[in-house]
Amino acid sequence: MLQQLGLGGASGLLLDLGVSSPQLDVPERGFSFMRDGPLDMRMGDDSGSTALELLAETSEADLADILWRFGEERHSRRVARAIKRRLEEGQLRTTRDLAAICADAYPRGPQRIDPATRTFQAIRIAVNDELGELERALGHCERWLLSPGAVAVISFHSLEDRIIKLKFRQWQARELGRILKPDHVTADDSERQANPRSRSAKLRVFLWGASDPKGDPKDKYRSKKHRA
C-alpha cells in the first residue's frame, strides 16, 4: 500500500485489531450469538470457507484444538463433540443453533460469560486467520517504519496481546527501539461507559529508533510531549 502511494515508509503506524461494530451488528454476517443468522463470519469478501464449512470440514479433534488455542475454551472437547454430533444430525445451520449447542455442552450452573463466547471467538479467528494476519502485519511494520517512528497496536483479547508483547520485546532486544512506558493503556471508566466494547481494549506502543531515556539524556522521547 505504501508503495502504491509512492511513499518510502511511515513514521507512525496504528493497528486497530478490533472487529468492526457494523459487522458484529449485522446478523447476515454471522458474527454474533445474540442475533440469529447464517454461520458465515468472513470479514472480507466471499472467498474462503464460511464458519459452517469450516466446522463441517474439520475433524472433531482438530476442532477441539481450534477452540482451545483460539478461544481458550476449557470445555473444548465437549463443545467440539456436541458440534460434530449436531452437524451429523443436520441440526446446525445458524448462529443461534451454535449458541444453543454451546449452552447444552456446558456444565450446569451459573457462568461468568455466555457459554458461546469463546467458541464464537475461536471460530471467527480460525475463519479469518486473524493471528496469522497480525504476525504478517507486524512484519510489515518492521519493514516500513521510519526511524525515529512509532507503531501503536490496539488489541482486544489475550491471544493478540501475547503476540504483540513478544514482538515488542524481540524488537527491543535487537535494539531497534524501546517499549513506551507504561507498557499498555486501557480505556478509562468514562470510555467504557460510552463504549462497552472498549472494556477489553489494550493499547501498546513501540518507539522505533528510540533509545533508553535513562541511558541517553538527549533522547527526544523524554520530553513531556512524548510521555504516555
Residues 194, 215, single domain; the answer is yes
The predicted model gives 172-190 an average pLDDT of: 94
Mean pLDDT of the chain: 88
- Which of these three, 80, 111, 128, is where a domain ends? 128
Joined grid coordinates for residue 176: 531497534
Residues 222 and 208 in one domain: yes
Q: Which residues of 147-159 are buried (b: 16+ CB within 10 A; e: fewer)?
A: ebbbbebbbbbeb
pLDDT 10s digits, 153-176: 999 999 999 999 999 999 999 999
pTM beyond 0.85, yes or no: no
Looking at the 3D structure of the chain, how many domains does it have? 2
- And the C-alpha cell for 32? 454474533
Domain containing 196 equals: 10-19+130-226
Neighbours of 31 (CB within 10 A): 27
Q: What is the pLDDT of residue 226?
A: 37
- The residue out of 128, 159, 180 marking a domain boundary is 128
> Are residues 196 and 141 located together in one domain of the fold?
yes
Per-residue confidence at 218, pLDDT binned at 50, 70, 90? very low
In 10 A of CB 7, how many CB atoms?
A: 11
pLDDT of residue 110: 79
C-alpha cell read off for 95: 448462529
At which residue does the C-alpha cell 496504528 appear? 14
State residue 149's pLDDT score.
93
Averaged over 55-72, what is the pLDDT? Answer: 97
Q: What is the pLDDT of residues 90-143, one digit of tens each?
A: 999 999 999 999 999 998 877 788 999 999 999 999 999 999 999 999 998 888
